[in-house]
A and B are shown apart, each in its own frame.
Chain A
Amino acid sequence: MLALLVVLAAAVTWLATGANRGWTKTSVPVKTLDTVTGIEGITYQNKFLPGVDFLGAALGGAALLAGASFFFRKPKTKQQPTKQPIITI
């Protein structure tokens, strides 16, 4: 269940930030035009942009969680066999 939540959260984050199909970025270039020279200056703005490696890491993490869940399962309580009424004639 937790693994599924991790995958869903990662997918929603990835989609909400523009579904970047490249690598994860922590900054994005912003271009500004210098009107006198006509040069486009580039500055970087801090912004987290998850990429396919982010999705891959989330899937890997979810797979680990799912795998680990098999080792930490609660033992099932044994069911008491129902006693059949003894019918005596």
Chain B
Amino acid sequence: MKLTHIIPLVALATAVHAAPQAFDFKDPKGVNNAVFKLDAPLESINGSASGISGTVSFDPENPAATTGKIIVASESLTVPNPMQKEHLHSVNWLDVAKYPEITFETKSLAQVKTDGNVTTAEATGTFTLHGVAKEITVPIKLTFLADKLSARVPNLKGDLLVIRANFVINREDFNIQKGQNEDKVSPTIDLSLSIAGASVK
């Protein structure tokens, strides 16, 4: 085979290998979670959400090109105190019936650093909560686990992508009890996202 024939083949093989993979974040194991924390006088209000879905396009050869959208079902937000949960879901706070989804859609990644299978970056995107969309930048950590899907879900071959992010939002920016109850509940909300997506081969 001539060299002129080999070069296009190698280029094609490289292109196929480098193609971005779509990772589905609907977790069959129910481990994916988003944790939230609001400071309050007696004790901080700690809760979590498990209804996570979405898709992320990730290329292990080019993590900077990562794009995607993560969706959290508002109804899945829970706290251990039933009255607090009722308040949280009510029209006065998140109004989960009217705004059933909390989303984050990435636009771009900056300060991308990759070390082995771990990439850290600053992700800028649109965060939508309580019907209000706001552009925010959050630090994220991506861990690419090649061929690890079968270790998690038997009979399925593929890769895993773990995304971790910790950031703070101001509830007033999203019209949640704007200027109210600041003596009872902190205006800032600490958010922590730990999710794994699968790309089936």
Cβ of B40 to closest chain A Cβ, rounded Å: 9
B32 part of interface (Cβ distance < 8 Å): yes
Within 8 A of B (CB), among A10-54: 21-29, 32, 34, 36-44, 49, 52
Nearest neighbor of A43 in chain B, beta-carbon distance = B30
Which residues of chain B have C-beta atoms less than 8 A from A49's C-beta? 80
Chain B residue with Cβ nearest A52: B42
Q: Chain A contacts of B83 at CB under 8 A?
A: 23
B81 sits at the interface (CB 8 A): yes
Nearest B residue to A39 by beta-carbon distance? B194
> Dominant SS at the A interface?
strand
9 closest cross-chain pairs (CB), A and B: A41-B31, A22-B43, A25-B80, A37-B196, A36-B152, A34-B31, A39-B194, A42-B48, A23-B81
Q: A22-B42, A29-B48, A34-B152 are in contact. Are A39 and B32 (CB under 8 A)?
A: yes
Q: How far is the CB of A68 from chain B (nearest CB, A)?
A: 27
Whether A39 pairs with B81 at a CB distance below 8 angstroms is no
What CA separation (Å) do A28 and B32 show in the bound complex?
18
Pick 9 A–B contacts, CB within 8 A, sort by A: A21-B42, A22-B43, A36-B145, A37-B145, A39-B33, A39-B195, A42-B33, A42-B50, A49-B80
Instruction: Please count the residue pairs between chain A and chain B whose beta carbons lie under 8 angstroms apart in the complex.
Output: 64
Question: Does chain A have a CB within 8 A of B156?
Answer: no
Secondary structure dominating the interface of B: mixed
**Separation of A36 and B43 alpha carbons in the complex (Å):** 33
* Contact-residue bracket for chain B: 20 to 34
What is the interface of chain B, defined by CB distance below 8 A to chain A? 29-33, 35, 42-43, 46, 48, 50, 78, 80-84, 143, 145, 148, 151-152, 160, 162, 194-196
Q: How far is the CB of A25 from chain B (nearest CB, A)?
A: 4
Do B80 and A39 touch across chains, with their CB atoms under 8 A apart?
Answer: no
Docked complex Cα distance between A38 and B196 (Å): 10
Give which listed residue, B48, B82, B196, contacts A39 with CB less than 8 A. B196
Task: Check A26–B162 contact: CB distance below 8 A.
Answer: no
Residues A39 and B31 in contact, CB atoms below 8 Å apart: yes
| Contact B162 A27, beta carbon cutoff 8 Å | no
